[in-house]
Structure 1
Amino acid sequence: NLQEMTELDVIVVGRGGGSIEDLWAFNDEAVARAIVACRVPVISAVGHETDFTIADFVADLRAPTPSGAAELVVREKLAVIERLVDLYARLKQAMTADVTAQRERLHFLARRRVLTDPARALRDLYRRLDDLQGRLRLGLRAGQRQIRHRLALLTQALSARNPAARISADVALLGQLRGRLVSGAAHGVQASRARFATSVGRLESLSPLAVLSRGYSVTRLPSGALVRSAAQARAGDLLEILLHQGALGARVTEVRERDERHQV
Structure 2
Amino acid sequence: MEPLSVSDLTGAIKEVLETAIPAVRVAGELSNVVLARSGHLYATLKDDAAQIRVVMWKGKASRLRFEPRDGLAVICEGNVEVYAPRGAYQLILAAMQPEGVGSLELAFRQLQEKLAAEGLFDPDRKRPLPTFPRRVALVTSPTSAAVRDALQVLRRRWRGTDAIVVPTAVQGDGAAKQIAAALRTAGGLSGVDVVLLIRGGGSLEDLWAFNEEPVARAVAACPVPVVCGVGHEIDVTIADLVADRRALTPSEAAELAVPDGREIEAFVADAAERLPLALRRRVATEAQRLDELDARLADAGRRRVERGTHELERLGGRLHALSPLAVLGRGFSLTRQEKSVLTDAAAVAVGDEVTTRLARGSIRCEVLERTEDEE
Instruction: Report 1 or 2 for greater relative contact order, CA contacts < 8 Å, sequence distance ≥ 6.
Output: 2
TM-score, L = length of structure 1: 0.40
Judging by fraction of residues, say which structure has more helix. 1
TM-score, L = length of structure 2: 0.30
